[in-house]
Amino acid sequence: MLCLAHMKSSEIRQRFLKFFEKRGHAVIPSSPLVPENDPTTLFTGSGMQPMVPYLLGESHPLGTRIADSQKSFRTVDIDEVGDNRHTTFFEMLGNWSLGDYFKKEQIEWMFQFLTEEIKIDPNKLYVTAFMGDDKNSIPKDIESAGLWKKLFAQRGIEAKEIEIGSEENGYQVGMQGGRIFFYDAKKNWWSRAGVPEKMPAGEPGGPDSEMFYEFTDVPHDEKFGKFCHPNCDCGRFLEIGNNVFMEYKKNSDGTFSKLPKNNVDFGGGLERLVMAATNCPDIIRVNYQPIIEYIESACGKKYGEKSDETRAFRIIADHMKASVFLIADGVIPSNADQGYYVRRLLRRAVRFSDFLDIDKSILSEVVDSIALMYKDSYPEVYAKSSSIKNIIAEEENRFRETLSKGLKEFEKGTDAFTLFSSYGFPLELTLELAKEKGLNIDIDEFKKEFKKHQDLSRSGAEKKFKGGLADTSEMSVKYHTATHLLHQALHDVLGEGIMQKGSNITPERLRFDFSHGAKMTGDEIKKVEYIVNQKIKENLPVNKIVLPTAEAEKTGARHFFGEKYGDQVSVYYIGKDIQSAYAKEFCGGPHVENIGNLGTFKIQKEEAVSQGVRRIKAVLQ
């Protein structure tokens, strides 16, 4: 299939930003891929992520209408790469109304942008809306549906509304000639916690309305379900954007009420908009052409001919672009944190180039074509390209030295930890090889060895909290427990809108950073101190429980939004049992056994660290 890029991504990006600028939006630059001042999450995975404080009520210095194109990296999508529409790195176009305009403007502008500005055929557009939630008395979003219906009618399209319900039901009932589809909260509801049931009191959320493009040349694949529908994963329908309408808040009695001010959050994948604007059902073909050509010349194979080779091309192309952008934002391949992901991407790219019979180092050469593609839109990538090349070349050469030996060891049945420590195989690479061969890998054994030998945990709160502790002296441990009390007390006094941004503990004091729009008043500080000291007087016990992550989330224990945890996490709770506990958090410890001897808690300082982030320094006297 040949795809002609009538409109390249740089043009669509520019048109989008201009379109919203003309409509009163301040255009802001992309935040880095590694969040600034936010040690709680590894990567920026959406345009919304850096905007969360403002969506929760903090005022944005540039006003109530904002637009941008945000570099995004999603580790969760790594296994999707190879299909026709997922990449780990992509740009997300976004626009926001912070208590300003709402559904009418947003939906009309979106329709106009898609059909007039980038000339997508409206006959190929489909939309979804929230079907309502009887249990929680949240009504069906007929307002959004009505707005879409009118816009389609203006283009001579009668937009029939179809009630689908769950995604699973979609496969049973199919399209039924519909244009506007109503889905349940799993598909068309947004809150930080997920569906309405999962939301804690005070949390905002709302329905969303998504837009899909239909590739009429891509036949439905029954492997995914009997009938196709917009949320089917076969590749015929492409989600191009999502309009979130934040209009509700959960009350403490579990009911929902309207927020005093509504927000709009739109996020749409730039590369997917290019696909729709060019009617090209292949995200790589239409956005990664120079990389594909380079790989073709290196291996003498043609992209698009054999499906397993095409998958390898796609993986290499994605992983290389993602690595280039991550390295440009300061991430260096390593065995921990963000660096681990770059290492994993690069080594995986090497393995798939091996699959294409490329036996010489070529990955660093690909950097030039990527840098050139983004010369105008991301000049810093271009400027840094020679040092990026060096970093990639070193990583590639090192891994190539051991790759073939490692593959032989794998065939012999060598354990995952040895493959990791002696041959540089990230665990996920071994798991993937095992899956291809239908073998099982003992992950627990790997983890045990991994811990024993290096004690490098690359994800989860455990490390983050340990990172916050200067040592594990008795005083540091006391301050650590006091930090949990403080965290909860801040929620009690300032509301559920605040979020932990970091913590640092020494035997002399605790330091705690959190998002909050305003300086705390003297009264608020006193209240927080009072609550913490009251709890200390109650001499509550501190307990730990290890649970599967999904179970742990259900306990309502605090954890970092967007953070990916392992299969099991430990939850520390302060109280007799987990239900009635005063404070609970995903945490690796250590903590005191009872809080009665913490002393008297005193806040010494409350100050700003950056826009919307406050810092508390406190002591136990």
239 binds ligand ATP (CB under 6 A): yes
Residues 417-476 that bind ligand ATP (CB under 6 A): none
Using the contact rule CB under 6 A, the part of the chain among 199-207, 268-276, 320-328, 500-508 near ligand ATP is 268-276
Give me the sign of the Cα torsion angle 216, 222, 227, 229.
Answer: negative
Q: Which two tokens stand for residue 436?
A: 């291809």
70 binds ligand ATP (CB under 6 A): no
Out of 34, 51, 145, 240, the only residue in the binding site for ligand ATP (CB under 6 A) is: 240
Q: Are 568 and 461 in contact (CB under 8 A)?
A: no
SS3 248: strand
Amino acid present at 189 = W
584 binds ligand ATP (CB under 6 A): no
Out of 53, 196, 269, 612, the only residue in the binding site for ligand ATP (CB under 6 A) is: 269
Which residues neighbour 415 within 8 Å (Cβ) at sequence distance 6 or greater? 442, 445, 446, 449
Output the smallest distance, CB 33 to ligand ATP, in A.
Answer: 14
Using the contact rule CB under 6 A, the part of the chain among 86-94, 171-179, 392-400, 497-505 near ligand ATP is 86-94
H or E stretch covering 256: strand 256-269
Between 20 and 417, CB nearer to ligand ATP = 20
Between 165 and 599, CB nearer to ligand ATP = 165
271 binds ligand ATP (CB under 6 A): yes
- Beta-carbon count within 10 A of 359 CB: 13
Q: Are 330 and 34 in contact (CB under 8 A)?
A: yes
**CA-to-CA distance for 30 and 92, rounded, in angstroms?**
10
Between 238 and 595, CB nearer to ligand ATP = 238
Out of 272, 344, 614, 615, the only residue in the binding site for ligand ATP (CB under 6 A) is: 272
SS3 180: strand
Output the smallest distance, CB 272 to ligand ATP, in A.
Answer: 4
Out of 90, 96, 130, 573, the only residue in the binding site for ligand ATP (CB under 6 A) is: 90
Q: Are 89 and 321 in contact (CB under 8 A)?
A: yes
196 binds ligand ATP (CB under 6 A): no
Number of residues that bind ligand ATP (CB under 6 A): 16
Residues 37-56 that bind ligand ATP (CB under 6 A): 46
Between 127 and 403, CB nearer to ligand ATP = 127
Residue nearest to ligand ATP (CB): 269
Between 229 and 535, CB nearer to ligand ATP = 229
Between 79 and 444, CB nearer to ligand ATP = 79
Out of 13, 60, 74, 179, the only residue in the binding site for ligand ATP (CB under 6 A) is: 74
Out of 50, 82, 205, 267, the only residue in the binding site for ligand ATP (CB under 6 A) is: 267
68 binds ligand ATP (CB under 6 A): no
Output the smallest distance, CB 454 to ligand ATP, in A.
Answer: 31
Output the smallest distance, CB 72 to ligand ATP, in A.
Answer: 7
- Strand-pairing partners, residue 126, are 212
Between 79 and 357, CB nearer to ligand ATP = 79
82 binds ligand ATP (CB under 6 A): no
Q: Are 423 and 405 in contact (CB under 8 A)?
A: yes
Output the smallest distance, CB 445 to ligand ATP, in A.
Answer: 32
**CA-to-CA distance for 323 and 89, rounded, in angstroms?**
9
- Beta-carbon count within 10 A of 190 CB: 20
Using the contact rule CB under 6 A, the part of the chain among 59-67, 85-93, 484-492, 563-571 near ligand ATP is 85-93
Using the contact rule CB under 6 A, the part of the chain among 2-10, 238-246, 320-328, 541-549 near ligand ATP is 238-246
Using the contact rule CB under 6 A, the part of the chain among 87-95, 401-409, 510-518, 575-583 near ligand ATP is 87-95
Question: Taking Cα atoms as reference points, which of 492, 493, 483, 499 lies closest to residue 58?
Answer: 499
Only one residue has tokens 């891509």, namely 218
What residue spans of 379-473 are helical by DSSP H?
A: 379-383, 385-412, 416-423, 427-437, 443-454, 461-468
Out of 23, 26, 37, 77, the only residue in the binding site for ligand ATP (CB under 6 A) is: 77
Question: Taking Cα atoms as reference points, which of 56, 255, 273 lies closest to residue 138?
Answer: 255
Between 86 and 458, CB nearer to ligand ATP = 86
Q: Give the number of C-alpha atoms closer than 13 A to the C-alpha of residue 595, restricted to the C-beta side.
A: 31
What residue spans of 305-362 are helical by DSSP H?
A: 307-328, 337-355
206 binds ligand ATP (CB under 6 A): no
**CA-to-CA distance for 400 and 408, rounded, in angstroms?**
13
Using the contact rule CB under 6 A, the part of the chain among 265-273, 286-294, 496-504, 535-543 near ligand ATP is 265-273
Site string for ligand ATP, 101-140 (x = CB under 6 A): ----------------------------------------
513 binds ligand ATP (CB under 6 A): no
83 binds ligand ATP (CB under 6 A): no
Only one residue has tokens 């991407």, namely 345
Instruction: Compute CA 54 distance to the chain's CA centroid, rounded to the nearest angstrom.
Output: 18
Out of 268, 333, 424, 468, the only residue in the binding site for ligand ATP (CB under 6 A) is: 268
Q: Are 425 and 434 in contact (CB under 8 A)?
A: no
167 binds ligand ATP (CB under 6 A): no
Do strands 180-183 and 125-130 pair parallel, antiparallel, or not at all (unpaired)?
Answer: parallel
**CA-to-CA distance for 291 and 506, rounded, in angstroms?**
49
CA dihedral 322, 326, 328, 334 (to 10 degrees): -120
94 binds ligand ATP (CB under 6 A): no
Amino acid present at 606 = E
Give me the sign of the Cα torsion angle 597, 603, 609, 613.
Answer: positive
Catalog residues that contact ligand ATP under the rule CB under 6 A: 46, 74, 77, 86-87, 90, 92, 239-242, 267-269, 271-272
